[in-house]
Amino acid sequence: MHTRYFGASWAAVSGRRAKRCEIASQHGASVVYDLAAPDSVDVAAEVIKATGRGVDVVIDCAGAQASMDTSLQAVRPGGMIMNVASWSVRPTIDMNLMIGKEAILASASTRPYSIHGMLMGCASLHRQHCVLERSPGHPPSDG
Protein backbone atom coordinates (compact mmCIF):
# COMPACT_ATOMS: atom_id res chain seq x y z
CA MET A 1 0.00 0.00 0.00
CA HIS A 2 1.48 3.33 -1.02
CA THR A 3 0.27 6.26 1.10
CA ARG A 4 0.04 8.59 -1.91
CA TYR A 5 -2.55 6.23 -3.42
CA PHE A 6 -4.86 7.15 -0.57
CA GLY A 7 -4.40 10.89 -0.99
CA ALA A 8 -1.92 11.58 1.79
CA SER A 9 0.53 14.34 0.95
CA TRP A 10 2.50 13.57 4.12
CA ALA A 11 2.52 10.35 6.12
CA ALA A 12 4.39 9.46 9.28
CA VAL A 13 4.72 5.93 10.60
CA SER A 14 5.85 4.95 14.06
CA GLY A 15 6.78 1.44 15.07
CA ARG A 16 9.04 -0.72 17.19
CA ARG A 17 10.33 -3.20 14.60
CA ALA A 18 13.11 -2.23 12.21
CA LYS A 19 11.77 -4.37 9.33
CA ARG A 20 8.33 -2.77 9.53
CA CYS A 21 9.87 0.70 9.66
CA GLU A 22 11.87 -0.19 6.56
CA ILE A 23 8.71 -1.39 4.77
CA ALA A 24 6.94 1.85 5.70
CA SER A 25 9.78 3.87 4.14
CA GLN A 26 9.57 1.78 0.96
CA HIS A 27 5.83 2.35 0.69
CA GLY A 28 5.69 6.11 0.81
CA ALA A 29 6.05 7.20 4.42
CA SER A 30 7.37 10.74 4.55
CA VAL A 31 9.06 9.99 7.86
CA VAL A 32 9.41 6.89 10.03
CA TYR A 33 9.86 7.06 13.79
CA ASP A 34 11.56 3.93 15.15
CA LEU A 35 10.34 3.77 18.73
CA ALA A 36 12.85 1.05 19.59
CA ALA A 37 15.82 3.24 18.65
CA PRO A 38 17.91 4.53 21.57
CA ASP A 39 17.45 8.09 20.30
CA SER A 40 13.67 7.75 19.89
CA VAL A 41 11.82 11.06 19.74
CA ASP A 42 8.48 12.38 21.00
CA VAL A 43 6.40 11.40 17.97
CA ALA A 44 3.50 13.79 18.66
CA ALA A 45 5.86 16.77 19.10
CA GLU A 46 7.73 15.88 15.89
CA VAL A 47 4.46 15.48 13.96
CA ILE A 48 3.20 18.87 15.13
CA LYS A 49 6.56 20.43 14.28
CA ALA A 50 6.40 18.90 10.78
CA THR A 51 2.76 19.78 10.06
CA GLY A 52 2.35 22.98 12.03
CA ARG A 53 -0.98 21.89 13.54
CA GLY A 54 -1.18 18.11 13.78
CA VAL A 55 -2.50 15.59 11.30
CA ASP A 56 -5.94 15.18 9.78
CA VAL A 57 -6.08 11.43 10.38
CA VAL A 58 -4.33 9.09 12.80
CA ILE A 59 -4.71 5.38 12.13
CA ASP A 60 -3.87 3.57 15.34
CA CYS A 61 -3.15 -0.14 14.92
CA ALA A 62 -1.19 -0.64 18.15
CA GLY A 63 -3.94 -0.96 20.73
CA ALA A 64 -1.72 0.41 23.49
CA GLN A 65 -2.21 3.30 25.90
CA ALA A 66 0.93 5.05 24.64
CA SER A 67 -0.36 4.98 21.06
CA MET A 68 -3.76 6.39 22.08
CA ASP A 69 -2.04 9.19 24.01
CA THR A 70 0.21 9.95 21.02
CA SER A 71 -2.78 9.86 18.68
CA LEU A 72 -4.70 12.42 20.75
CA GLN A 73 -1.69 14.69 20.93
CA ALA A 74 -0.82 14.38 17.21
CA VAL A 75 -4.28 14.84 15.68
CA ARG A 76 -5.18 18.37 14.58
CA PRO A 77 -8.24 20.18 15.93
CA GLY A 78 -11.23 18.67 14.13
CA GLY A 79 -9.16 15.67 13.00
CA MET A 80 -9.96 11.97 13.22
CA ILE A 81 -8.41 9.10 15.13
CA MET A 82 -9.26 5.79 13.48
CA ASN A 83 -8.70 2.85 15.81
CA VAL A 84 -8.27 -0.49 14.04
CA ALA A 85 -6.64 -2.29 16.97
CA SER A 86 -7.93 -4.91 19.32
CA TRP A 87 -7.23 -3.97 22.92
CA SER A 88 -6.27 -6.39 25.68
CA VAL A 89 -6.75 -3.66 28.31
CA ARG A 90 -9.45 -0.99 28.31
CA PRO A 91 -7.80 2.33 27.30
CA THR A 92 -8.05 5.61 29.14
CA ILE A 93 -9.00 8.49 26.85
CA ASP A 94 -8.31 12.11 27.79
CA MET A 95 -11.81 13.34 27.00
CA ASN A 96 -10.95 16.96 27.87
CA LEU A 97 -8.19 16.97 25.24
CA MET A 98 -10.45 15.22 22.75
CA ILE A 99 -13.32 17.66 23.32
CA GLY A 100 -10.96 20.64 23.29
CA LYS A 101 -9.69 19.55 19.87
CA GLU A 102 -13.15 18.52 18.69
CA ALA A 103 -11.46 15.32 17.51
CA ILE A 104 -13.42 12.38 16.16
CA LEU A 105 -12.70 8.88 17.46
CA ALA A 106 -13.88 6.10 15.15
CA SER A 107 -13.14 2.43 14.73
CA ALA A 108 -13.03 -0.19 12.00
CA SER A 109 -12.53 -3.91 11.79
CA THR A 110 -8.96 -5.08 11.28
CA ARG A 111 -9.91 -7.12 8.23
CA PRO A 112 -7.82 -5.94 5.24
CA TYR A 113 -10.87 -5.02 3.14
CA SER A 114 -12.26 -2.92 6.03
CA ILE A 115 -8.99 -1.02 6.44
CA HIS A 116 -8.80 -0.47 2.67
CA GLY A 117 -12.35 0.90 2.66
CA MET A 118 -11.60 3.15 5.61
CA LEU A 119 -8.49 4.50 3.90
CA MET A 120 -10.44 5.13 0.71
CA GLY A 121 -12.95 7.09 2.80
CA CYS A 122 -10.14 9.20 4.24
CA ALA A 123 -8.81 9.81 0.74
CA SER A 124 -12.22 10.85 -0.51
CA LEU A 125 -12.30 13.52 2.19
CA HIS A 126 -9.14 15.03 0.63
CA ARG A 127 -7.08 14.47 3.77
CA GLN A 128 -3.69 16.16 3.72
CA HIS A 129 -1.79 14.41 6.49
CA CYS A 130 -1.88 10.92 7.92
CA VAL A 131 -0.09 9.19 10.75
CA LEU A 132 -0.02 5.42 10.46
CA GLU A 133 0.92 3.13 13.32
CA ARG A 134 1.32 -0.63 12.97
CA SER A 135 0.77 -3.01 15.83
CA PRO A 136 3.53 -5.35 16.98
CA GLY A 137 2.69 -8.95 16.26
CA HIS A 138 0.58 -8.35 13.16
CA PRO A 139 2.17 -8.96 9.75
CA PRO A 140 1.72 -6.35 7.02
CA SER A 141 -1.39 -6.95 4.94
CA ASP A 142 -1.35 -7.40 1.20
CA GLY A 143 -4.85 -5.92 1.04
Burial of 128 (0-12, 13-18, 19+ CB in 10 A): middle
* The model's pTM: 0.72
Which one-letter DSSP state was computed for residue 62? S
SS3 95: helix
Q: What is the dihedral of CA 55, 63, 67, 110, to 10 degrees?
A: -20
**How far apart are the C-alpha atoms of 46 and 135, rounded to whole Å?**
20
Give the model confidence (pLDDT) of 38-96 as tens digits: 888 999 999 999 999 999 888 888 888 999 999 999 999 999 998 888 889 999 999 99
Is the predicted pLDDT of residue 110 greater than 80, yes or no? Answer: no
- Spatial neighbors of 96 by CB under 8 A, at least 6 apart, are none
Over residues 10-25, the mean pLDDT reads 84
